[in-house]
Structure 1
């Protein structure tokens, strides 16, 4: 059994704790909070106390982004592996300083979960089959900043490439029926900002970032992804590609979701397929988890496996930093109304 402790116990930290309850190989042994309070795990008011008494194998930070770098540094100073919630630091200077202080230690991972969500994982697996050829452009309109950049970079295989960014913003009225707390019961529209940016990674690879305020939770805006390749493209859950001479086909990605109609197995994700090819199989059957919970469980198990020395790094600090450095370049370009080139960690 591999153990971890949380730093913070807000909304996101509680998700990690809740998901860990359904995992047999990972357990949460405590949480570091600013003041003692009743929690479902032992509460500690300092990291030193937590490490001394709970002795976790790794830490998961889920604190405000301004506090994240110091928590990461403290974990690294103790020689404890840490998975930091996104982003690992709030701004350009903070990211570079954190990399200088902690990057070389090899102890820091970032809790970037989007490419572990079933739909994105299946789409990525489809692209990796070569069905659309070499990916050349990824357009994402669903989630914000570093999450969207992670999706773009992941599908392109952009690695350590920087991006030349051109961004703009517009404001228009939009009803906002739901947020993190649930239904808002506000029928009227209010101003919402849309940021659109082009990202040029060189070598013919590019991305389009398109995000409207609260789009991740506002179901009045579709979530869209387009992956263009040399021999076809993926649009959401459908692929068009060149199957042979004078043969163009369209094929759907199909999710097998149990619990509908007379399916009495209970509500659960089972598989996502492309024709007769299984692209994704739920590694946690029977838990009845949503996609974000499945991705969070995948992160925790990958982190535990890496800490034990039995698997690769889940998402190294360098990758999380690159995502946010490009996201910051998008905001800077929109602020200044000019082209900005992202930097690299260091």
Structure 2
């Protein structure tokens, strides 16, 4: 499948790497960026065509879809331009920076059916395996989920993914705390300064009525190696704490098991290091569709999203992550921020994208 990217920031690099690693599946036709200087850098560094004008790019490069990897404030206008040209879009998160922007974007392009959003975290292998386990009914009905992993709309996407929440109104309550922590690593790389600095922790509850999500995130947690990832989902008949499953299999039969990764390239394995599958001891819950490409789990998630977008465009397949879902994620993320900022409970309602 063929795609192009509008924007050339660090998020674009993931789409470049996927095409480099698996050219038999993915072709990056080129990049549209703002300046001629950046055009020269892209051609040299990424070895793909680059342009400053979207129309010129599209004249020279047939694509199945375009990716927007642009600043938040710019993304809605780029999406609108592509939809006006009847080009399917995979927009980077979030699709709009605020609630008014979400509503305006939906009014502008929602009915087109041409916009998906690049929310990859539900497609990460571990998260996909957890969702597959929930769909077996092993926990009964999920009622409670806790995510301390990634930030804002990404974490909300995971909470909704685990709880099976769609567009239900939510009662959102959040608090923030300033607490000291060392930041050994940031986006810029490893740091020499190991003096603890105050970092903001946001703790929020999202009450969907019968199902509750808990959001817990410390600034830079996603890159801080001394802050782990934690997920907990509880149901009527059991719970999954990270990869530890406890469930009631039958009357008087509580059982414990574990989600385990089958990883090649470990001790006494002569294969290259790669993820093969994830299972729970009874069944395979996830199998890596790109086994042999040696992708990181983040790259597996991005590749899955790209491939599903291509099938959606070419074959009428299931949409990978519709604009309505991403708009709901951002709506709830903004409610968390508002509640933390004002010290109030925020009540969200059904929006037009809920249908």
TM-score range, shorter chain: over 0.9
Q: Is the CA contact 1:321–1:345 (under 8 Å) kept in the aligned structure 2?
A: no
Task: Say which of 137, 141, 146 aligns to 1:139.
Answer: 146
Partner of 2:32: 32
Measured on the aligned residues, the alpha-carbon RMSD in Å equals 1.0
User: Where does 1:1-346 land on structure 2 (aligned, <5 Å)?
Assistant: 2-23=1-22, 24-36=24-36, 37-38=39-40, 39=42, 40-202=47-209, 204-346=210-352
Q: Is the CA contact 1:95–1:345 (under 8 Å) kept in the aligned structure 2?
A: no
Output one character per residue of 1:70-124: Cα deviation in whole Å (capped at 9) or x when no partner.
Answer: 1000000100000000001111111111111011100000000001101111111
Give the aligned length. Answer: 344
Q: Equivalent residue of 2:270, what SS?
A: coil
Output one character per residue of 1:163-195: Cα deviation in whole Å (capped at 9) or x when no partner.
Answer: 110000000111001112221222111110000
Q: Is the CA contact 2:18–2:26 (under 8 Å) kept in the aligned structure 1?
A: no
Q: Equivalent residue of 1:308, what SS?
A: helix
Rounded Cα–Cα distance in structure 2 between residues aligned with 1:163 and 1:27 = 41
Rounded Cα–Cα distance in structure 1 between residues aligned with 2:106 and 2:88 = 15
Q: Post-superposition shift, 1:345?
A: 4.1
Q: Is the CA contact 1:99–1:345 (under 8 Å) kept in the aligned structure 2?
A: no
Q: Equivalent residue of 1:18, what SS?
A: helix
Of residues 234-243 and 256-265 in structure 1, the stretch that sits farther from structure 2 once superposed is 256-265
Q: Equivalent residue of 2:338, what SS?
A: helix
Q: What stretches of structure 2 of length at least 5 have no aligned partner?
A: none
Rounded Cα–Cα distance in structure 2 between residues aligned with 1:108 and 1:235 = 34
Q: Is the CA contact 1:333–1:340 (under 8 Å) kept in the aligned structure 2?
A: yes
Q: Post-superposition shift, 1:344?
A: 4.2
Rounded Cα–Cα distance in structure 2 between residues aligned with 1:288 and 1:301 = 17
Rounded Cα–Cα distance in structure 2 between residues aligned with 1:343 and 1:221 = 34
Q: Post-superposition shift, 1:343?
A: 4.2
Rounded Cα–Cα distance in structure 2 between residues aligned with 1:345 and 1:192 = 33
Q: What stretches of structure 1 of length at least 5 have no aligned partner?
A: none
Q: Post-superposition shift, 1:25?
A: 2.9
Q: Post-superposition shift, 1:133?
A: 0.4
Output one character per residue of 1:249-299: Cα deviation in whole Å (capped at 9) or x when no partner.
Answer: 110000011111111101100110111300010000111111000000001
Q: Post-superposition shift, 1:26?
A: 2.4
Q: Is the CA contact 2:174–2:202 (under 8 Å) kept in the aligned structure 1?
A: yes
Output one character per residue of 1:294-328: Cα deviation in whole Å (capped at 9) or x when no partner.
Answer: 00000110011111024110000000000000000
Of residues 207-216 and 53-62 in structure 1, the stretch that sits farther from structure 2 once superposed is 53-62
Rounded Cα–Cα distance in structure 1 between residues aligned with 2:192 and 2:317 = 46
Q: Following superposition, which runs of at least 4 residues in structure 1 exceed 3 angstroms of deviation?
A: 343-346
Q: Is the CA contact 1:268–1:289 (under 8 Å) kept in the aligned structure 2?
A: yes
